[in-house]
Structure 1
Amino acid sequence: MARDGVVVSFFIPHDHRTVAQECWRALQTYFRAIPPQSLNWYGADDGDVLELDADGWDVTRKKMLDCTWALAWHIGLSDLPGGTGGYQFEYHGLNLDNPIHGAPATAISFTFPTEYLLEQGPQRMRALVLELARELPFHFGYASFALVSRDGSWTAGDWKLLEKYSARYLGVDLSTSADIGYVIGTHALGAHWLTFLGLPLLDRLGGADALRQALPFPEVSFLPMEQERLLLTLSEWPEAIDIEQAPIPPQYRALACFLKPFMYESGEDGIGRYLDRWRRRLCP
C-alpha cells in the first residue's frame, strides 16, 4: 500500500485558473530531474489507469492548461500502475469560489524514492525542491520523509502496523494532499525538513523576524524568497526522528510549537481525530 520516500507538497491559496501555468512548469521541472521512464501511467477521468505515452501527455496538458470550466482538476501520474514505486505527481486544482469547497487550496505534490535522495545527496535534493517552489505562490509547503502511496492509499493498509510505525518515526509524513487541499484554507501542517511559508500565513506568524527569534538553532537556515516567501531548513538531511534512538530534535519541536496555533484541525471523529493528533505529534 505504501513505501518509504520523500514527499514534496505545496498548498496554494489561488484558483486553478490562476496558477495552472506555474504548476505545469513545476511538473516539467520534476520530469526533467527524475530518471527516464519514471512516470509511465496516468489516472483517467473514469478511474482507469492508462499508459502515459505521447497521447497521455497531451491529455494531461490539455486537462491542466486548456480545461477552464470544471469545478476541480485532478491529475495523477506514477511510475507503477498501483502508484507505490516512489515517483508520483499529484495535482488537485480547485475552483476556490465554489461554495461546496469548505476552505480549499490548490494542492500539488511530487514524490521520490529514498534511493533518489541517497544518490543525489541533501544539497542537490534541496536545490531541486527550491526550483519546484520558485514560481508557486504557496502559503505553505514542505519536503519530508514520508509513506509514499497513491492518493493517500496508505489508509487502506494494516492500521496496527501503521500506528506502531508512525508512533516511532515522528519525522515520516502521512501524505494526503488530495483530501487536505479541500480543507486546509491558509493553515500550516507542521514542521518538516524543508518548511515553506508564504502569504498570508507568513504575515499571521509575525514574519521572518518572529521565526528567527523562535528558532535560534545553528542547524536552522532561513532563505528569503521572492513574493514574500520563506524557506526554513531544519537539518542537513531530512530526519525520520526515530524516538527509540534519540529525542525529537529541538529545532523541529520549536517550529512545531510555533506553528501549532496556525495548524489545520479537522475537529472530526474517527480518522480525522487520529490525523489531528498525529499532525501535532512534535508538539502535543
Structure 2
Amino acid sequence: MSERLPSLRVQTKYDKLVARDGVVICFFMRRSHGAVAHAVWRALQTYRRAIPPGALGWYPNHNGDWQPLDDKGWKHIREKMLERDWPVACGVLLEEHCDTTGGYNFEYEGRWLDSAFLYDRDATCAVSFTLPTEYLVEHGPARVRALALELASELPFNFGYASFALVAPDGQWYSARKTVRELRDRYPGLDIYKLAETSKHIGTQARGAYWLTFLGLPLLGRLGGPENLRRHLPFPDVSLETLPPLEGERVLITLGEWPEAIDTQQQERPSPQLLALGQLLERFLHEERSNWFLFLKQDPEDMHRWIHRFCP
C-alpha cells in the first residue's frame, strides 16, 4: 500500500541529493544496438507522453558537460540513437535536473554484441525509466503497471522488472554509500541498480523477483512456461499475463497491487508470493561480476546474499 512506501532522500556530506525514492522500470535485451535502437526510441516516446511535459530536461554531452534537452538536444539524442551506422556503443542518459537527482530519468546502454571490443559474451543492451513515488501515489499502481506493459510491448526483452527503488541514475549514490547500505539493509524491497554494470554480463538471466517481473525467452522456457509458473504461484494477489504478439513467449508476473518496501524495523516480512517467485528464479539469478556493489560492505558474499534475499 502507498502508506508503506517511505520517502527517502540520500545526500552527501555537502548536502547534495544523490538518490531518492521512486520506481524503476528496467529491461535487458540480448540483442545488438542496431536491432533494438528503434524499439528503445519508441519506448522513450511512450515514456515522455506519460510523464509531465519537460520532466526530462538535461543530458551530458561527450565531454560530460550538461546540455539542455531542448529541440536541439532531442535532435542530437535521436541522431545518436538511430542514425549512426558504424558499430559503436551508444550510451544515453537523460535526467530531470543537472545539479541534483530527480524522479524522472532515462538510461540506455546500447552495445554491438558482435564487436571485437566487447569483452563479455553475456553483455546485453539495457534500458531503464524511473518515476518518483509521488507519480505512483497520484496516478495509482494500475497506471504504472499499464505504463510498464506499454514499454514492454515495444521491447524485445529477455528479462525486465519494475520495483520500488532508490532512484540514482548512473549509480550516483556512490558518495553516500554508507547511507545507501543502511537503507538497503532496512528495506529488502528497495531495488539498488546500476544499469551500465549489470547489463555488461547479465545475459539472459534474471536479476531477481520483483513487484512486476517480465520474463522472455529463453528464461521463460527454462522455467517451464506460463502454465508451470501458474502452478507454482497459486496466490490470489498474483496475476500472470502473456504479452502479444508473442503470447507464450513473454509474460508479466504481477505480485499484488502495490510494490513492497518491506520495512524490517517495523517487523515487515516479504510476502509469500515474493518468496515463491524468488525460489523459482533462484537457479537463474545473475551474480554481479564487477565490484560496483561490493563497496557497500566489504564482504565478498554481501552481494550474493542481497541478490538471493527472496530465496527461502
**TM range, smaller chain:** over 0.9
CA RMSD of aligned residues (A): 1.5
- Give the partner amino acid of 2:71: A
- SS at structure 1 position matched to 2:154: coil
The 5 A counterparts of 1:246-265 are 246-265=268-287
2:133 corresponds to 1:114 = yes
Deviates more, 1:65-74 or 1:268-277: 268-277
1:134 matches 2:150: no
Q: Does 1:34 align with 2:88?
A: no
- Write out aligned runs for 1:160-239 (5 A): 161-226=179-244, 227=246, 228-239=249-260
| Partner residue, 1:54 | 71
Counterpart Cα distance in 2 of 1:270 and 1:129: 27
C-alpha distance after superposition, 1:116-143 (max 9, x if no partner)? 0001001111111110110211010000
- 2:174 is aligned, of 155, 169, 174, to 155
Q: Distance in 2 between matches of 1:35 and 1:270?
A: 32
Give the CA deviation at 1:269: 6.5
| Farther off after superposition, 96-105 or 219-228 | 96-105
User: Structure 1: how far apart are the matches of 2:57 and 2:136?
Assistant: 21
**Cα offset, 1:94, TM superposition:** 0.6
Q: CA deviation at 1:266?
A: 3.1
Q: Identity, % of aligned pairs? A: 51
The alpha-carbon deviation at position 244 of structure 1 amounts to: 2.9
Partner of 2:114: 97
Structure 1 residue 268, shift from structure 2 partner: 6.0
After TM superposition, give the deviation of residue 204 of structure 1 in Å: 1.5
Once the two structures are superposed, residues 66-90 of structure 1 have per-residue CA deviations (whole angstroms, 9 ceiling, x without a partner) of 1131431000101100451110000
SS at 1:17 equivalent: helix
Q: What's the CA shift string for 1:85-116, capped at 9, x where partnerless?
A: 11000011111112533111110000010000
Contact 1:83 1:150 in 2 (8 A): no
Deviates more, 1:272-281 or 1:89-98: 272-281
In the alignment, the residues of structure 1 paired with residue 152 and residue 127 of structure 2 have an alpha-carbon distance, to the nearest angstrom, of: 10
> For residues 257 and 46 of structure 2, what CA distance do their matches in structure 1 show?
23
- Over 3 Å counting, the alpha-carbon distance change for 1:259 and 1:14 in structure 2 is same
AA partner of residue 141 (structure 2): P
Count of residues in correspondence between the two structures:
283
C-alpha contact 1:75 1:92 (8 A) present in aligned 2: yes
The change in CA–CA distance for 1:267 and 1:16 in structure 2 (over 3 A counts) is closer
Contact preservation (8 Å) 1:12, 1:139: yes
2:308 is aligned to 280
Q: Which moved more, 1:135-144 or 1:244-253?
A: 244-253
Task: Write the letter of the residue equivalent to 1:26.
Answer: A
Instruction: After superposition, give the CA deviation of every residue in 1:242-283 in whole Å (9 maximum; x if it has no partner).
Output: 123321111111111110110111356683443332111122
User: 1:195/1:83 Cα in 2 relative to 1: closer, same or farther (>3 Å)?
Assistant: farther
Equivalent pair of 1:9/1:141 in contact (CA under 8 Å): yes
Letter in 2 for 1:277: R
In the alignment, structure 2 segments of 5+ residues that lack a partner are 1-17, 295-299
Aligned equivalents of 2:185 and 2:214: distance in 1?
Answer: 25
Unaligned runs of 5+ in 1: none
Structure-2 residue corresponding to 1:65: 82
Distance in 1 separating the partners of 2:220 and 2:105 = 28
What TM-score, normalized to structure 2?
0.87
Query: 1:12 offset after TM fit, Å?
Result: 0.6
One-letter code aligned to 2:200? Y
